């Protein structure tokens, strides 16, 4: 079973004066179905640095929740930790997958401008994945319609908002839907996760070959 770093949301409990690290239990169920074991990363930079330095891992997953600080989010400590995870993972040549906010962080790290988008908070949304219609969920208010030369688009919503990207050379993938919230889990998602963390990332056949001007 491959071991992957998994980032967590910051859940703020003002009544108790607490900032809690949290991960939906559905993630463990989903990752288990993909033969993956989660190594939870704390949202404390020094602790995260110690964890990454002391443990061996096979890749990283940036999960959803919390807006990025650049989008008005209130969890800057998470941004710091996830950028550390991203840099260390890529420096080691290991796979990295971003989900929703995680994909937004990937886009931001590659200099892609993101804008506020309407109509993308839905339990069910039809998109095109590799040109083929598919139904997924959608829970985001920020996105993009163009990427950068390094990232190719392989899924879009009907309004043109990008729903998935893949790096042209590095083992980096991002999706804007939440595979862990699908009931039952989509076979396409479990296959994607297995492929990414097995090091079998390939540009999908028929993916858009588009580049920013």
Please state whether beta strands 2-6 and 60-62 pair in parallel, antiparallel, or not at all (unpaired).
Answer: parallel
Q: Is the dihedral of CA 16, 21, 24, 25 positive or negative?
A: negative
Q: How far apart are CA 62 and CA 56, in angstroms?
A: 17
Q: Which of 82, 100, 108, 167 is catalytic?
A: 100
Torsion from C-alpha of 125, 140, 117, 160, nearest 10 degrees = -40
Q: Radius of gyration (Cα) for the chain, nearest Å?
A: 16
For this structure, is 34 an active site residue?
A: no
Pairing of strands 9-13, 18-22: antiparallel
> Is residue 100 left, alpha or beta, with left meaning phi > 0 and alpha meaning psi from -120 to 50?
left
Catalytic residue among 120, 140, 167, 178: 178
Q: Tell me, yes or no, if 80 is annotated catalytic.
A: no
Dump the DSSP string for 155-195: EEETTS-EEEEEESSSSEEEESS-GGGSSSPPHHHHHHHHH
Active site residue 144: no
Let me know: does 197 contact 36? Beta carbons within 8 Å. yes
Which residues are bridge partners to 138 per DSSP?
A: 122
Tell me the catalytic residues: 100, 178, 180
């Amino acid at each position: 079973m491959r071991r992957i770093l998994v980032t967590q949301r910051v859940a703020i409990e003002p009544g108790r004066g607490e900032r809690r690290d949290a991960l939906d239990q559905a993630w463990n169920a989903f990752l288990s179905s993909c033969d993956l074991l989660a190594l939870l990363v704390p949202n404390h930079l020094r602790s995260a640095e110690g964890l990454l330095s002391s443990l061996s891992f096979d890749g990283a997953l940036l999960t959803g929740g919390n807006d990025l600080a650049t989008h008005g989010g209130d969890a800057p400590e998470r941004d710091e930790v996830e950028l550390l995870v991203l840099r260390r993972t890529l420096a080691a040549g290991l796979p990295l997958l971003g989900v929703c906010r995680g994909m937004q962080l990937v886009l931001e790290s590659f200099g892609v401008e993101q804008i506020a988008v309407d109509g993308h908070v839905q339990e069910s949304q039809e998109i095109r994945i590799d040109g083929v219609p598919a139904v997924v969920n959608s829970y985001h208010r920020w996105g993009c319609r163009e990427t950068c030369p390094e990232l190719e688009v392989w899924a879009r919503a009907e309004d043109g908002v990008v729903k998935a990207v893949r790096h042209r050379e590095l083992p980096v993938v991002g999706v804007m839907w939440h595979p862990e919230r699908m009931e039952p889990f989509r076979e396409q998602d479990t296959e994607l996760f297995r492929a990414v963390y097995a090091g079998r990332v390939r540009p999908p056949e028929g993916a858009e070959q588009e580049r920013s001007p």
